[in-house]
DNA sequence: CCGACTTTGTGAATAAGTGAACGAACTCGG
DNA sequence: CCGAGTTCGTTCACTTATTCACAAAGTCGG
């Protein structure tokens, strides 16, 4: 058992979701050649409360110095380590429509350690085409691609109708995480992490608050 | 004052964020010509707990029938109304790089009532180009575009460095909601709604859990 | 009309997340 | 070395969100 580990270290989900934001803020700070940063300033850059920053960081240990703040480089190192960004993560993108192509062309992934290791589609017309030095392969190759290229993150950029089947094939091939851009909820086993990005959902949430505001204005 | 309104009707944020997911599930259900749906089934489709579905829906009134479930069309109507989807929402996209272009070409917006009413960039080389019948305009035109075309939602698809300035200009021009794709946190007045979509952040969150899993496997 | 069954709506318990507040630990000028 | 000032780490009260559990309200076959 792992009963008497050094510390419990169960990190709250909300904290995990903020780490990448802190990371970005710290990178900007490092770029300005500042050696230390206060929780106050980091909070401002990340758009959150200072106490929250301190609490979030404290889950990983005491990396700050009272009266001084946090050493930027030291903190960068630890957050990168916690996020598993000390090595590259090969990804495969399934679905080479508008979105899939845009993702494949977008340089921001590689920069941040997410190496696009494969592009996949079902359409025979697309298979064989090249995007950024990568050749689009048929989805039947998925198992081989995952194993050979040590891919652990799968990106679904297909239409909604195809998403579940793609997810199933990814799971069968041994993926461990999925980023789902298809506008539908996919079901996967408990031990697979899934995150969803859905632009229409975000717009509809904005629409809700917009609508509320308008009717309040009208009533008030 | 609005002290004695019919009901409090302060909808929890978490509930609002789920409404679009229910909406999508209900649309699929309607497409299968099913007249009613149980909270159980809707929960399954939306990937949540059935009690949560019922509580979420109950904030808007009692739209279900015990022993039967929810009338699909009736519920669709009410959710659409709550989300403000009874009319179109003109949007403007600022930043015509890879992502901005992909968004402009993507048909999913229009389908869902988010009409792309303007495309904007700073680059003189891009201004004047056409994408899907829309001509890219210069960002200085933003105030005119917003007013003339009744735009209330602004989409930021610029690099991080430009995002805050674009947000400021949108706010100055009277935008009420912003969807931010730039990988940075933007500051806006309290009465402006902002949502953020950041692919790299999502990947880093997946990376965190992947890393955890690996080290647990190694240790266990 | 009745009794078995289904499914909602909601009160109450639990869990998760937030933020104010403050003691502890550090720096720095003199 | 000391006292003033800064900033972290953490406790505690509070808010928000989730889930359970069950009475109430409906259906349906006979």
Read off the pLDDT band of B220 (50, 70, 90): low
pLDDT (average), residues A59-71: 94
- β-pairing verdict for A114-121 and A130-131: unpaired
Name the token pair of A139. Answer: 């989805």
8 Å CB contact between B155 and A17: no
8 Å CB contact between B210 and A153: yes
Chain B residues whose CB is inside 8 A of the A47 CB are 185, 187
- More reliable by pLDDT, B95 or B4: B95
CA distances (Å), B88 to each of A59, A104, B26, B27, B91, in order?
A: 45, 31, 20, 18, 9
Q: Cα–Cα distance between A209 and B193 in angstroms, integer?
A: 7
* Closest residue in B to A152 (Cα–Cα): B210
pTM exceeds 0.85 for this model: yes
pLDDT (average), residues A122-138: 97
What is the nearest nucleotide to A51, using C1' and CA? C19
Range 178-197 of B in CB contact (< 8 A) with A:
178-179, 183-185, 187, 191, 193, 195, 197
Interatomic distance A66 CA / C24 C1' (Å): 9
Residues 6+ apart with CB under 8 A from B83: A204, A207, A208, A211, B19, B20, B23
Q: Does A17 touch chain B (CB under 8 A)?
A: yes
- β-pairing verdict for B36-37 and B69-71: antiparallel
Q: Cα–Cα distance between A27 and B149 in angstroms, integer?
A: 39
Q: Cα–Cα distance between A23 and A47 in angstroms, integer?
A: 13
Helix (H) or strand (E) holding A153: strand A153-156
B204/A82 CB distance under 8 A? no
Interatomic distance A190 CA / C10 C1' (Å): 30
Residue among A47, A74, A43, A48 at smallest CA distance from A61: A74
Of B178, B187, B200, the CB nearest to A112: B200
Which residue gives the smallest C-alpha to C1' distance to C6?
B67
* Beta strands, E only, chain B: 36-37, 64-65, 69-71, 89-94, 114-121, 130-131, 134-138, 153-156, 177-180, 193-196
Read off the pLDDT band of B110 (50, 70, 90): confident
Residues 6+ apart with CB under 8 A from B173: B142, B143, B146, B147
- Tens digits of per-residue pLDDT, A131-187? 999 999 999 999 999 999 999 999 999 999 999 999 999 999 999 999 999 999 999
8 Å CB contact between B178 and A51: no
Q: Does B202 touch chain A (CB under 8 A)?
A: yes
């Amino acid at each position: 058992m792992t009963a008497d580990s050094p510390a419990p270290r169960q990190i709250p989900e909300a904290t995990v979701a903020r780490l990448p934001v802190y990371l970005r803020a710290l990178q900007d700070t490092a770029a300005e050649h500042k050696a230390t940063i206060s929780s106050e300033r980091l909070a401002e850059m990340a758009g959150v409360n200072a106490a929250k920053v301190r609490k979030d960081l404290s889950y990983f240990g005491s990396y700050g110095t009272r009266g001084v703040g946090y050493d930027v480089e030291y903190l960068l190192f630890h957050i990168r380590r916690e996020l598993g960004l000390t090595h590259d993560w090969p990804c495969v993108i399934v679905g080479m429509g508008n979105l899939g192509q845009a993702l494949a062309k977008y340089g921001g992934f590689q920069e941040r350690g997410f190496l696009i290791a494969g592009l996949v589609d079902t359409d025979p017309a697309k298979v064989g085409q090249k995007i950024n030095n990568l050749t689009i392969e048929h989805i039947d190759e998925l198992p081989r691609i995952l194993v050979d290229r040590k891919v652990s993150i799968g990106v679904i950029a297909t239409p909604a109708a195809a998403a579940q089947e793609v997810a199933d094939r990814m799971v069968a091939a041994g993926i461990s995480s999925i980023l789902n851009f298809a506008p539908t909820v996919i079901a996967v086993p408990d031990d697979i992490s899934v995150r969803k990005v859905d632009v229409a959902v975000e717009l509809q949430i904005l629409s809700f608050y917009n609508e509320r505001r308008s009717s309040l204005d009208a009533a008030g």
